Structure 1
Amino acid sequence: MIHPVAVIGAGPFGLSTAAHLRARGIPVRVFGEPMVSWRDHMPEGMLLKSTPAASSIDAPQRGHNLVDYCDAAGIPRLVTDEDIIPVETFIGYGEWFQQKLVPELERVRVVSVDRKSGPGGQGGRSGGGFEIKLDSGELFTARAVVVATGLSGLAHLPVELRGAAADGPTPTGPVSHSSQHHDLSRFAGKELVVVGAGQSALETAALAAEAGAQVRVVSRGRGRVAFGAPPWEQPKLRPESPFGRAWSLWALSYYPQPYRHLPAEARHYLVRRVLGPLGAWWLRDRFEGKVGVREVARIVRAEAQDAHPVLTVQTLGGRTEELSADHVIAATGYRVGIAAMDFLGHELRTQLAVSRGTPKLGAGYRSSVPGLYFTGLPAAASYGPVMRFVCGTEFASPRLAKHLAAAHG
């Protein structure tokens, strides 16, 4: 019996990987709600920071990029760097891609993944593969597993904010995470503090202000509030990349393969800092004059007083002050951690080689456990910042599918 490959996740990376596997004739089962993180965990009215050139999901055949979707949906083409993509359009594109290339998607949740013992106790081609349990109650064997769960379960709340969120961040508590808000109109008439200086923080703040909230952004340390240059001001003598004109961005976009050979400290630093906190050029006019900004050296702690958050901050001058609000939204990004992927069995997690909590990946996006692959954000520490973005599918998906076909064909 030929067991299928299990792809866990139905966002851009999961759908792209599944499409490439299907094109190679490899039996595959794909699990998850299509584009769920984009649909449920991004704010209504959001616009993508990525340009159209950086927003197509890679497919094994022509006819399935963002422009093709625009043509099929009868909407204006999104082509130039000055064209801005509404999140609703991108969600529609992902769902169209799924219907065209991954029609057999199963909208069920994977409960657990464990090694299935075989000859020599090894999974993969020479052993028993993996035992997959679904929330439908079905149990089946997969010869390989691709983890493409995106941002799910990886929202990061800095330790200094946890004092006001004893039970974790919640939309109705004193402190929440930006991924927990789809409709920001609930903050109309409220005082809101948004912690962060990246696109998520600045756009969340602008959308909340437009919905009637009184908003302040608190940026910490080196995270100064700034906006990128518009396309017509980009340097002309540097190579183009999906993220702008710069030699470093060009190299990271088109040559991720050597990245995994860098020292671990350099790899993790670049993932954090390259394409770091910076607002989109088109957001500046909606932000400046509408949202207050408070730059501080650091947040010392957060407390809840009468169900309202109070932040104690150290100013750039070294003084200590308190900032109060009706609610704090932490737009503080995501942290990859194997521990958060609780669908992976305990024994499986302990067998994985990791670097600062992220899986260490070799050629073809394989992990240290034969037959177990990771793509998307969990692969960024091995393949670079491009894996944080949709355009990373162009590099990752064909290579992962090719390696899996060779190793488990």
Structure 2
Amino acid sequence: MYDLVVVGAGPYGLSVAAHAARAGLDVKIFGRPMASWLDHMPPGMFLKSEPWASNLSDPDAAHTLAAYAGTRGVPARHGVPVPVRFFAAYGLWFAGRAAPPVDERDVVSVRPGPGGFVVTTGDGEPVVTRTVVLAIGVMPFIDVPDALRGLPRELASHSSHHADLTCFEGRDVTVVGAGQAALETAALLAEQGTSVRVVARSAALSWNTVPPPLRRPVHARARGPHTGLGCGWKNWLYAEAPGAFRRLPAATRARVFTSALGPAGAWWLRERFEGAVRVRLGEHIASATPAGGRVRLVLGGRGGAVSTVETDHVVAATGFTPTLDRLGLLAPEVRDGLATVGGSGGPEASRCFESSYPGLFLAGLLSAPSFGPSMRFVYGATYTAEHLVRGVRRRLGTPGGSPGLVGQRAAAEKLPVRGRPAGATP
């Protein structure tokens, strides 16, 4: 029997496994490393987060993105976006050096068992463990507008379904959404010669501003401290104090989770997007029907206005929502009894990321309703790995754990800690 099984081998799963192994736990990790980044994002995409905010977490803070970049002979500089494929390669490098060996089989079910849980793999092998971490990423939680759900895949898809956009060369594509995934997908399509339009409910597109230098005068840092989620005190709360966020009332957390850090494009994308992509703002898809191998969209607008668009394909870049009803791999007797955060439908987690079912822990997007927006980004992996592994040890009756590593990680890389860039004058 294992002490811990980690389901998922993305940034959160790998980070938790690295900390668990160092803590002396008998840990098993399942999943194809960095699969979401390799299989669900096309070449040419970049991370929105800064390089120093995109580290996976190991107890020694040694296997950082900057360390990997050094092995490749390239710098990881503030203000320079990181290619998604480079980040995926970094994750594989981390997996091979900082984490236990990864079993790349899929997990199809997690159910109660003697002394803990039985985790069943896709080929039918049962694996018995005392505790489980669900670090399953975003793919189970895809959001698609109701109007598109009845269309076949050749006519409508989610942005995460595409690791290659060349199938749309020379065609007409409509992208739905106003966030980074929508805007970057549209820009990539336009750059390869696709006729593309963006349809969004919002009245205007939002764009992130160019990040200021890490070293700034005291008054500038006081007005807007650097954080792993951008500048500003509200972002500081989300990025550096997820434990404090968790102590907010459930209704507040549910509201903030759905509204904070809303749809916006990266500053470096704006020039590529504007003038290259047609935009229809203040409109939503009222209906979508097949029409001679294409899709006929009826768009509802402000004041009850209605218009029609015909397109070859619709890409919904409409995000992900971590609700319990989409946790198909979790046995109903566990899933149906889990406590949720307000009316969000997302699972509640303790201060150590344990769900209301003893021994079942949550990481990544699944923990965002409890701990806030940082859990939607790689930046939250360090806080998660540290606190979650402590929780596992307590559950197993081996209290203790390594001290907090946020400051150690920052010292190793001269990164901002709690809003203050290292090396800056206090």
TM-score normalised by L of structure 2: 0.88
1:251 and 2:250 are equivalent in the alignment: no
Task: Decide which of 202, 208, 224 is 1:238's aligned counterpart.
Answer: 224
1:76 and 2:64 are equivalent in the alignment: no
Instruction: Please say if residues 199 and 283 of structure 2, whose CA atoms lie closer than 8 Å, have aligned partners that are also in contact.
Output: no
Distance in 2 between residues matched to 1:112 and 1:219, nearest whole Å = 37
Distance in 1 between residues matched to 2:312 and 2:374, nearest whole Å = 37
Match of 2:375 in 1: 387
1:359 and 2:339 are equivalent in the alignment: no
* CA deviation map 1:369-392 (0-9, x unaligned): 000000100100000000000010
Instruction: Please say if residues 296 and 313 of structure 1, whose CA atoms lie closer than 8 Å, have aligned partners that are also in contact.
Output: no
1:104 and 2:101 are equivalent in the alignment: yes
* CA deviation map 1:182-221 (0-9, x unaligned): 1111111111110000000000000011111011001114
Distance in 1 between residues matched to 2:27 and 2:231, nearest whole Å = 38
1:228 and 2:226 are equivalent in the alignment: no
Task: Decide which of 336, 341, 361 is 1:350's aligned counterpart.
Answer: 336
Distance in 2 between residues matched to 1:79 and 1:254, nearest whole Å = 21
AA paired with 1:133? T
Instruction: Please say if residues 192 and 216 of structure 1, whose CA atoms lie closer than 8 Å, have aligned partners that are also in contact.
Output: yes
Pairing 1:3-402 to 2, within 5 Å after superposition: 3-72=2-71, 74-80=72-78, 82-117=79-114, 128-163=115-150, 165=151, 170=153, 173-221=154-202, 224-232=204-212, 237-355=223-341, 356-402=344-390
Q: Give unmatched runs, 5+ long, in structure 1.
A: 118-127
Instruction: Please say if residues 178 and 204 of structure 1, whose CA atoms lie closer than 8 Å, have aligned partners that are also in contact.
Output: yes
AA paired with 1:87? V
Distance in 2 between residues matched to 1:306 and 1:193, nearest whole Å = 17
Match of 2:404 in 1: none
RMSD in angstroms over aligned alpha carbons? Answer: 1.6
SS in 2 for 1:143: strand
SS in 2 for 1:142: strand
* CA deviation map 1:93-113 (0-9, x unaligned): 000000001241111111211
Match of 2:416 in 1: none
Length, aligned pairs only: 389
Distance in 2 between residues matched to 1:208 and 1:274, nearest whole Å = 28
* CA distance 1:190–1:264, change in 2 (3 Å): same
Instruction: Please say if residues 131 and 139 of structure 1, whose CA atoms lie closer than 8 Å, have aligned partners that are also in contact.
Output: yes
* CA deviation map 1:72-126 (0-9, x unaligned): 2x2311131x111001110010000000012411111112111114xxxxxxxxx
AA paired with 2:74? P
Distance in 2 between residues matched to 1:20 and 1:240, nearest whole Å = 26
AA paired with 1:213? T
Instruction: Please say if residues 2 and 28 of structure 2, whose CA atoms lie closer than 8 Å, have aligned partners that are also in contact.
Output: no
Distance in 2 between residues matched to 1:304 and 1:211, nearest whole Å = 25
Stretch moving more, 343-352 or 195-204: 343-352
Alpha-carbon shift at residue 233 of structure 1 (Å): 9.0
AA paired with 1:157? V
AA paired with 1:191? D
Instruction: Please say if residues 58 and 391 of structure 1, whose CA atoms lie closer than 8 Å, have aligned partners that are also in contact.
Output: no
Instruction: Please say if residues 107 and 120 of structure 2, whose CA atoms lie closer than 8 Å, have aligned partners that are also in contact.
Output: yes
Distance in 2 between residues matched to 1:360 and 1:62, nearest whole Å = 29
Distance in 1 between residues matched to 2:51 and 2:96, nearest whole Å = 21
AA paired with 1:31? F
Distance in 1 between residues matched to 2:318 and 2:19, nearest whole Å = 33
Identical pairs, percent = 40
Alpha-carbon shift at residue 162 of structure 1 (Å): 2.5
Q: Give unmatched runs, 5+ long, in structure 2.
A: 215-219, 399-426
Stretch moving more, 44-53 or 352-361: 352-361
